[in-house]
Chain A
């Protein structure tokens, strides 16, 4: 594991992209295929299945460190990372093993396999797991323990994007970066694949579910007139749903979300499209909630996300369709290098021929001059849209977030001035700082919490608020503190909807801190009434 520890340390110690890529290339050049595959898997968020419940790990870590469970939990609140807390608290030892990264991962997978021999989590199994985990902790030094724990516990942000990893892999393997990022997408797992199969072998049959990397737009940074001639561009609505890629190959349908998650099962209503779309079709579109020829708000769609089972009543309450933006594959041929004009023409033909109420074309917003779009953009909220998309008709379909051919032109957010009421410690890079806040508005003399937000402040402002929280704590509940209601922030959000799950009766879409209103005393913050006005206008 030494090479991987070194890689991790180097990635962790630098903020410079060049250094990160260099460290990765260096590692790929040294590592064996198994370690390479697992490293790629880890950096693209594919970890081995969880083999031990974290509640057990916590208990074992506390007893290994000779501390009571409450003290473990308090330390965890402050450190902000479970794997790190367990690693730091363990008596510090020298590394005394020569296992590689993949051998340690196999060790973890074997823990999971223990359950196969004994179907339930019997005491025997738990005792063996405990013994093995404690043995492992005793073989590892502090950084190795951290990595081992991260592999055991889940979400791990190493601070290197998939894009950088792909760039390094391209340099190591000599394979083109775009080709690689395509190969790395989809449903592969390191447990069942090999480096050769995934990276080197070309187009094996099991790649029929493989999506293309999404092309993502930046926000418009220049005056719209500077884009050039209006007739070289097209405009469409930026729908507020889940960006998705719909794949029909070999009579099967696959639906991918932008987060590279296969969500086919979550949206069974699209299955029917296999009958009306030809094989070798890949469509980029937006999944939105839609009923009676009308888009519904994002909150309706949200009620479906995160549910394990899609029940009949959910399907009735939150019906979805896909709005098709683009065509990436036609008759099994990758057409991303063709112009948008051509791709769209073929897309319209496909959608027309499909004649399905589940698949609609993203209609163009007509305009002759740029200024015609101003009003259209201002109307976005009426359509539950986030704004407009501007696309160059001659542009190709690119990989990842790129400037030039696509721009998103969002409407200005809604805003409200609110009082900071609770603060919670953050995680990861923000561990140990109070960075997650709950905001409230006035209802008479009472403050009613209505939104949580943690983004939008600069590091300097975060430090300032953190110091305020520590000095003005009224009460503590675990990692949360209630604070003197003194600070006012302008909270920006994309949408508002009624909600029975929230005490305030409203749910906000993507709330964040827009501005610290140091000029405003708390008593001048907005009221629940103001919030309800927004709800009536836009909800």
Chain B
């Protein structure tokens, strides 16, 4: 019996009767991170990292039965030990290390290798089998380091400010938005947030995590206060009447998909910034190498292509279908993974 199996409900450890990121309701769910496609509704019991817990509770209701633990703590169930390792994807995101009698599997959820200064940085784990996403599993996806991207964003904001315009920058509400708030130079001007993002910020600040100051956009603020300021909004706010009231503005989006000219031009954006919370091509390959694993299982993204590449490299790889959001170029709207 394999330590982890892919069933119609999720990634299943039969020996412990536990699921990781299940997409159908189960009794015991271990959650890698608080994005909606990885922490779903309806499970009887949840186990997550401390920093994911309040966010999951906010999304799924405070009455869910949830416990949390720190990175590198262990919980043993029927002889199988489970622990969290930082995944570097968003705040509280974890890889789940599963060990039974010396055999180690890692379900990595979503991850990125670059330390963004906000999420705990990714740590490679030696294992026998590594379960990985490959959202950006093509060699055309190579990220710049985030300092350069933030330099560009700062420059853009300053220029808009000189032209007395409002700067609207979009990124999904949990993860990207906070990374932007933390990475952009706050001395340039005032940072406002869309309601959906400020909710998340509030939860994060309540956990005692430091986050640059933001002001929630509301009707009591006079229109002129937004001139020269920055507003962080979810992509779903694009093209709505909410957005229109800020005229004159410039709109940008921060996402890994902005690497491609097609998606960049398709959304009527003034600027696209390449900033992703997922690993790029080199990142995926480096992460896999660092595990020294014998086998890789790819779950979502360009699975056919990436698994063929790995097999060609002599790394045994198989594809397993999951309900995690895959070809996500257009669905940045879901307050969710890219």
Contacts and interface: CB of A to CB of B under 8 A. Distances in A.
Contacts of A463: 330
B261 interface: yes
A466 B327 CA distance: 10
B50 interface: no
Contacts of B268: 15
Interface in B267-289: 268-272
A84 B261 contact: yes
A295 interface: no
B310 to A, nearest CB: 11
Interface string A430-445: 1111000000000000
Nearest to B313: A68
Contacts of A92: 142, 144
B143 to A, nearest CB: 9
Given A65-B139, A430-B262, A476-B304, 7 more contacts: A12-B264, A12-B265, A71-B139, A74-B138, A75-B140, A84-B260, A85-B140
Interface in B95-143: 138-142
Interface of A: 12-15, 65, 67-68, 70-72, 74-75, 78-81, 84-85, 88-89, 92, 159, 426-433, 459, 463, 466-467, 470, 476
Contact of A428 (B138, B262, B269): B262
5 contacts: A12-B265, A75-B138, A85-B140, A429-B262, A467-B330
Contact of B327 (A68, A71, A81, A470): A470
A16 to B, nearest CB: 9
A429 B260 contact: no
A430 B329 CA distance: 12
A254 B201 CA distance: 69
Interface of B: 138-142, 144, 259-266, 268-272, 302, 304-305, 308-309, 312, 326-327, 329-331
B260 A75 contact: no
Closest 5 CB pairs of A and B: A431-B262, A88-B140, A429-B265, A75-B138, A74-B305
A95 B110 CA distance: 33
Given A75-B138, A88-B142, A429-B266, A81 B330 contact: no
Contacts of A426: 262
Given A71-B139, A89-B139, A463-B330, A433 B262 contact: yes
Contacts of B141: 88
Nearest to B140: A88
A463 B305 CA distance: 23
A459 B265 contact: no
A14 B270 contact: yes
A455 to B, nearest CB: 15
A431 B265 CA distance: 10
A71 to B, nearest CB: 6
Nearest to A78: B138
Nearest to A72: B139
Nearest to A425: B262
Contacts of A70: 308
Contacts of A89: 139-140
A430 B266 contact: yes
B261 A431 contact: yes
Contacts of B265: 12, 159, 428-429
Contact of A459 (B261, B266, B308): B266
Contacts of A12: 261, 264-265
B331 to A, nearest CB: 8
Contacts of B263: 431-432
A347 B331 CA distance: 58
Contacts of A84: 140, 260-261
Contacts of A427: 262
A84 B304 CA distance: 22
A338 to B, nearest CB: 43
A470 B271 CA distance: 28
A463 B113 CA distance: 31
Contact of B260 (A14, A71, A431, A470): A431
A419 B259 CA distance: 34
A80 B259 CA distance: 13
Counting chain A CB atoms within 10 Å of each CB, the highest count among B142, B259, B262, B269 belongs to B262
Nearest to A85: B140
B139 A432 contact: no
A14 B138 CA distance: 27
A432 B140 contact: no
Nearest to B257: A432
Contacts of B312: 68
